[in-house]
Amino acid sequence: MRSFPGPALAIVDRMRADAAADPARAIAFQGSPGANSHRAATEARPDLAPLPCFSFEDALDAVKDGRAGAAIIPIENSQHGRVADIHFLLPESGLSIVGEYFMPIHHALMALGSGPFEAAYSHPQALGQSRRYLRERGIVPLSHADTAGAAAYVAERGDPTVAAIAPALAAELYGLTIIENNVEDSADNMTRFVILAKQALAPQALAGKPVMTTFIFEVKNIPAALYKSLGGFATNGVNMTKLESYQQGTSFSATTFYADIIGAPGDPAVDRALEECAFHSKELRILGSYEQARARG
């Protein structure tokens, strides 16, 4: 399914028309109107027109095709970890990370009826973040493409025994009743979004600001490859705030790593560390340097 639920279509059409009027000022997001990514787009870039897209790939393609000047994509959640497939999609997109945004996440249980409910639809991330709440009430979690889309689907389906877990805004948009607010299992529930564009930020745009750099690298299939590739960050005093591994392809012979560091190319210490990492890696690719939205360290 690559189309939005019926109750969302009129809103989607209106938002797409607004974005098409000035594509350079549009910011693409994945999900139906009312999704957390919609909220993140309006909060992080209030001067831009949000453009709803069905999938993450569609949102990235909108930038590549010139239908939007930027895209905002969730990359990790404090409670449920990294968002599935993002580590594969970002390098393949050819886009550059130009910003980040941290947003507290609050979910609401919403429905046409008042309960009890047999099942609740939502995005897998939201279901994972509300796992304990659903289990304690015997509600079966059912996956949907996005949170607000799940709310629109519940409204379209018309079954009072099913609910959706979505941002409170979705209940307002699709005529549902909020049964309970803040159903996430952890009160400290935060999602980090990255903002992507065709062109990387110029170094002068980041001068004098606290900067993050995101890159991926694939280690050589030799003993101590990871140890050697990371040694330069320690010896040059470069703080690595994130390191995650994932497999590409089916060989399982080498691992690709996704990393965040404080600093940017042009800083001699960062340049030395990246050069050493590249020397001990099969490939190293920088995905972007951008201003910190939240202090690290």
Name residue 121's beta-bridge partners: 142, 164
Q: pLDDT tens digits, residue range 153-171?
A: 999 999 999 999 999 999 9
Question: How much is the pLDDT for 297?
Answer: 66
Residue 296 lies in a domain: no
Residue 57 lies in a domain: yes
Q: pLDDT tens digits, residue range 41-100?
A: 999 999 999 999 999 999 999 999 999 999 999 999 887 777 767 878 889 999 999 999
The verdict on 236 and 273 lying in the same domain is yes
The verdict on 14 and 100 lying in the same domain is yes
The verdict on 70 and 125 lying in the same domain is no
Amino acid code (one letter) for 239: N
Q: Which of 131, 166, 197 is the last residue of a domain?
A: 197
**Closest by Cα among 155, 128, 119 to 74:** 128
**Closest by Cα among 279, 262, 269, 267 to 215:** 262
Residue 123 lies in a domain: yes
The verdict on 27 and 62 lying in the same domain is yes
The verdict on 66 and 36 lying in the same domain is yes
Domain of 95, in residue numbers: 6-104+190-197
Residue 1 lies in a domain: no
Q: What CATH number does the domain containing 39 carry?
A: 3.40.190.10
Residue 88: how many other CB atoms lie within 10 Å: 14
Instruction: Answer whether 20's CB lies under 8 Å from 68's CB.
Output: no
Q: Which of 145, 162, 197 is the last residue of a domain?
A: 197
The verdict on 13 and 60 lying in the same domain is yes
Calpha distance 116→137 (Å, rounded): 9
Helix or strand (DSSP H, E) at 107: none
In the chain, DSSP finds a helix count (H) and a strand count (E) of: 10, 15
Q: Which residues of the chain have pLDDT under 50?
A: 1
Amino acid code (one letter) for 78: S
User: How many domains does the chain divide into?
Assistant: 3
Three-state SS for 102? Answer: strand
**Residues acting as catalytic residues:** 191, 193
The pTM of this model reads 0.91
Amino acid code (one letter) for 199: Q
